[in-house]
Amino acid sequence: MQIRRIGGPDDAPLIEAELQDGDVRLSLLNLGVVTRGWWVPCGGASVPVILGYASPRAYLTDDCYLGAIVGRVANRTSGGRLQIDDTSHQLSQNEGQTHVHGGLRGLSRRHWQVEGDSAANAIRFTYRSPDGEEGYPGLVDFAVTVTLRGTCVRYDMAATADRLTPVNLAQHNYYNLMGGGEVWSHHLTCIADRRTPVDGRGLPTGEILPVDGSRYDFRDTTALGAMDPTREGMDVNVIFPEARDPDAPVAQLGAPNGLRLKMWSDQPGAQLYTAKHLTARAGGWTDKSLWPFHGLCIEPQAPPDALNQPGFPSILIDPDRPYRQCLRVDLSLIHISEPTRLGMI
C-alpha cells in the first residue's frame, strides 16, 4: 500500500493511493474517490481494464466522471427539483435545466479524506457534505471503502444524514477488458428484466417496461456490437428482478483476450452506457483509449429521477435510515476455444 501527495493546495490536496495484491494493482485518487487504474495480468502483460488518464492531474478537469463516485444523487433529476414534505429545494442544474450526477461540483469533484488499512488492503475515503451543498438539504457524512483482494475490488459506500434528504450513489468505471479499442467485441450478460424508457432529454417517462424484444435484453450472453449494429450507443437504466439470488452476479462481461468480469450488487438496477459521449482526447493509458465507444459503464444504482417519479423506489434517507451500497467486481482469465471465441460466459 502506498499513499502519496501529488500536489494541490493544503485545503484541497491531490492524493493517490495504490493497492496491490500479487500482480494486480489498483490506483485511487482522493478527488471524487476516482478509481484511476486497475491492472490485471493477461497474456504476459499487465492490462488496464478501466479507462483512465496517465496523469493524475488530468482528473482535475475531467468532465466524463472517469472512475468516480457520483452523487449525492447519481444520474438525472428533472429540473433539479426536490420536494420534501412541504418544502421545495432547487438543486444545481448542469445539463440545461437538468441536475446530473450531483451537480456542478458533486461528490466526484470534491477532495475526500484518505485513510489506509494495511491489514484489510483497503483505503477508506470520507467526506462531509454541508447543508445546502449543490442545493441539497442536510449535512451528510459519506464514507467509501475500497478493498482489493486477489482479482476482486469491493466498494462499500455509506452515508448518514442529520435530516431527511436524498442519496443515490454510483461508481462510474469505464470497463474495457482489452485495455483499449472499441468495446463492440465484448460480450455482456445482465439479469435485468425491465428498463425505464426516457424522453429526448434523457429523462425517464415514468414507465417501467420489460426488456423483452428490445436491444437492452442481455439475459442471454450477447456481443455489444450485435445488439447495436448501427452503433447508436446505449445509455439506459435497467432494473433487476425483485426475486433474485443475492449471491449471483447481476452482470458479467467477457472480452476476446479471455478476461471475464463478474459484478455483484445490492442495488435495484444499473445504468448501462457505452460511452457514446466520451469525446476523443489524449492522455489515456493506451493510444486512443479515450474515444467514444471505448468503454462500457455498468453503474448499479436506484432509478434516475426517482425524486420526481412516484412509481420509482424512494431514495430518501434520514438519521434512522442511513444509506448503504455494496459493489463487488471480480476478474478472471478463462480459456477460449478459437472457433467459438467467447461463446457463453
Instruction: For residue 168, give Cα distances in angstroms to 107, 144, 280.
Output: 11, 13, 29
Q: Give the other-Cβ count within 10 Å of 37's Cβ.
A: 22
172 is catalytic: yes
Active-site residue, from 16, 133, 182, 299 = 299
C-alpha cell at 305: 429521477
DSSP 93-148: --BTTBEETTSTT-GGGSBPEEEEETTTTEEEEEEEEPTTGGG--S-EEEEEEEEE
Active site residue 299: yes
Q: Is 161 helix (H, G, I), strand (E, B) or coil?
A: strand
C-alpha to C-alpha distance for 188 and 40, rounded to whole angstroms: 20
Sign of the four-CA dihedral 177, 63, 19, 265: negative
With contact defined as beta carbons under 8 Å apart, do 173 and 45 qualify?
Answer: no
What backbone phi and psi angles, to 5 degrees, belong to 145? Answer: -110, 125
Of the listed 172, 186, 187, 294, which one is catalytic? Answer: 172
Under 8 Å between Cβ of 126 and 143: yes
- Across 278-322, where does the E strand assignment appear? 297-301, 316-317
Closest alpha carbon to 173 in 34, 28, 25: 34
Question: What is the C-alpha to C-alpha distance for residues 183 and 1, in angstroms, rounded to an integer?
Answer: 31
The residue type at 70 = V
Gap between the Cα atoms of 121 and 123, Å rounded:
7
Find residue 37's DSSP bridge partners: 27
- DSSP code at position 227: H
Beta-sheet pairing, 323-333 with 259-265: antiparallel
Distance CA(8)–CA(19), nearest Å, equals: 22
Of 217, 215, 200, 85, whose CA–CA distance to 138 is shortest? 85
Which residues share a beta bridge with 20? 25
Residues with active-site annotation: 172, 299
